[in-house]
Amino acid sequence: MNLRDQKIVVCGAGGFIGGHLVKHLISQGMNVVRAVDIKPKTEWYQVHEILGLDNVVADLKDLGNCYRAVEGTTVVFDLAADMGGMGFIENNKALCMLSVLIGTHLLVAAKHAGVKRFFFSSSACVYNSEKQKTPQVIPLREEDAYPAQPEDGYGWEKLFTERMCRHFEEDFALECRVARYHNVYGPFGTWAGGREKAPAAICRKVIEAKHSGKHEIEIWGDGKQTRSFMYIDDCLKGTQMITESNIHEPLNLGSDELVTIDQLVDLVEEIAGVRLKRYYKLDAPKGVNGRNSDNTRILELLGWEPSIRLREGLAKTYAWIEEEIATGKEQILAAR
């Protein structure tokens, strides 16, 4: 499928990845007819105002809103979910689970509207936690999601919706594509307020420590837990490639550049030109001890994998967050 021939709706368009995706598709001349998010437009990370694009504020947990969201479209991107970093996920399991209503209702509406392709943004949180107990983790393969023991709450919601996509394709011939995102980061995302993920949180903490003159930083966990982080540009390219492909099974979409959280802090300190004293909050939410993406399958099927190095992506993210702080955006976020 060539997306240039389609009418596209992006659900979750006011979020970090969704806002970037709308911009990415528009920049290639794609016909994005509708962008939908639950947040007021004043809180969207990016609002794109172009002729023919309808920016809609709607709660997609409601089936009626889903019917209206997909009306007149042929491709649905489902990136809508109530989520955040590990602090939010571990403390809001029921809220995360309620996103199953979004995926289920969008699939029902897409089937009813005769949509040609449905993309679902899943997560590495679907993977069996037994395979992520040590920092020296073996990279996760797509088949490692079963037997099922995903991240409680958020991971179960993602895995359930993956199965819904599978069965809507089997039973109703609705072509579905699923990407399992691994820790996406970059500019125009959450960096304060409790929903931020590790790269943005570390950037913010280092910037604040540098400018305050209080050269110390609090790190959640012991700093030895390992992760891989994918820059937003790689996420967008991979999302488009997977959506246009003939791959029917869920596919990893993530960098395989594994680092410890301490090494992540090292990189941000290097970018900032400071060295900070570290304090470890061992009782803070930290997720699994180790997680990395096995990219064997995406390389086999698409001949491509995410390749933007963490140091490069962090430098861009750091510069953007530093500018946000300089313009007083942190106070605005804290007030929400």
**Residue positions annotated with a catalytic role:** 154
Between 63-70 and 100-113, two packed helices, what is the crossing angle to 10 degrees? 50
* Structure tokens given for 20: 């970037």
What is the DSSP annotation of 291-320? --B--HHHHHHHS------HHHHHHHHHHH
Compute, in degrees rounded to 10, the torsion defined by CA atoms 198, 251, 244, 39: -40
For residue 117, list its beta bridge partners.
75, 175
- Give the dihedral sign, CA 236/336/321/310: negative
CA dist., res. 325 & res. 208, Å (int): 9
CA 206 to chain centre: 23
Phi and psi at 39, nearest 5°, equal -75, 150
Ranges of H-type helices in the chain: 16-27, 63-70, 86-91, 93-97, 100-113, 154-172, 198-212, 232-244, 261-272, 296-302, 310-326, 329-335
* Structure tokens given for 92: 């809001």
* Structure tokens given for 192: 């304060």
- Spatial contact of 281 and 261, defined as CB atoms under 8 Å apart: no
Locate tokens 């994998």: which residue?
A: 305
